[in-house]
Amino acid sequence: MISLPVVLATAALLFAVGVYGALSQTNAIMVIMGIELMLGAAMLNAVGFMRYAWPDAASGAFFVLVVMTLMAVEATVGFALVIAAFRNRRTAELDDLTELRG
Amino acid sequence: MSDLATALVFWPSAAIMLVTGLYVFRTRSMARAGLLLLASLGIEGLVFLSLASEFLGVLQLLMMSGEMVIMVFFMVMFMADPGGLMGMDMTHDKRRSAAVAAGVAAALGAVAVATDWPGTVVTGAAPDIEQIGFEVMGRSMLSFLFAGMTILFAMVGGILLAKHGGRLGIPAPAGEPRDEEGAP
C-alpha cells in the first residue's frame, strides 16, 4: 500500500543521492546533475502531498510547475557559469577554480 | 487507479529511479551518466503517473528529455574524459560525501515516517487537468507569469554570461588562459 510517508521516504532517498553527487563530484556539470536530483525529490514531495494530504487542491500542481521552472533556470545559469569559467580557465573542474578561496 | 495498480507501478518505478540516480555518479562514462539521469528523472514522471498526476508525469518526461539531452552535449564538451575510456577518477571526498548523504537520508526518512501527517481518504479522484489549468490561469496566474519571466531573465543572463569575452568584454585569445586581473 502506498501512503504519504512512503512517498516522502522515497523522495528522501532521491534527495540523499543528489546530495552525494553534489558533494563527491569534481566537475561542475556533475554537481549540477546532483542538484537536479535534489530538485526532483522536492517535486516528488509536492506530488505526494497533493495526492495524499490535499487531494482536492489543484494548487499543489503549481508547486511542481515552479520547481520544474527552477530546474530549468538552475541548469541555464549553471551551464553559463561553466562556459564562462571554461573560457577563462580552460577547465570545468571545481578543484581548479580557486580564485575566491582567499 | 486502484491501490494494487498504484503499487504495481510505484514500487518498480521508484526502485529504478533511485538505482539509475545512484549510477549517475558511479559510471565513468559521462555520456552514460547524462542518459542515466534522463532515465532517473524520466521514470520519476512514471512515479507521478502512479500517484494520479498524469499531467505532471507527462510534463516531467517532456521537460527532462529536452533538458538532459542538452546536458549530455555539455558533458561531452566539457568533461576531460567524456567516454570514460581513460579510467579517470573525477570524484573527491567520496567517503565523507556518502556519510553526509546517509545522514541526510536517515534524518529526512525519520521525519517522513515519524511525523503525524494529515490523513485523507484517497478516493482515486485527483485534480484533473482542467482544474490545474484554472489554477494556473486564475489564482496563481501572477506567480506563473513571474516564473515565465524568471526563465526569460535566466536565458538572457546566461547568454550574456557565456558570450565570447565573458562579463568583462575582453576576448581572450584561443588557447591562452586569462591572467589574475582578467586581461587576456
Kindly give, in sequence order, each residue whose CB lies less than 8 Å from that of residue B179, ignoring residues fewer than 6 positions away.
none
Q: Is B117 on the interface with A (CB under 8 A)?
A: yes
Could you give the 3-state DSSP secondary structure of residue A93?
strand
User: What's the CA gap between A20 and B179, in Å, rounded?
Assistant: 34
* B83 in contact with A, Cβ within 8 Å: no
In this prediction, residue B171 has a pLDDT band, given cuts at 50, 70 and 90, of low
| Closest Cα in chain A, distance from residue B18 (Å) | 6
The residues in B 40-69 lying below 8 A from A, measured between CB atoms, are: 40-41, 44, 47-48, 50-53, 55-56, 59-60, 63, 67
Are residues A95 and B134, on separate chains, in Cβ contact within 8 Å?
Answer: no
- Chain A residues close to B70, C-beta within 8 Å: 75, 79
Per residue in B104-141, pLDDT (tens digit) is: 999 999 999 999 887 766 665 666 778 888 888 888 88
**Predicted local distance difference test score (pLDDT) of residue A22:** 94
pTM: 0.87
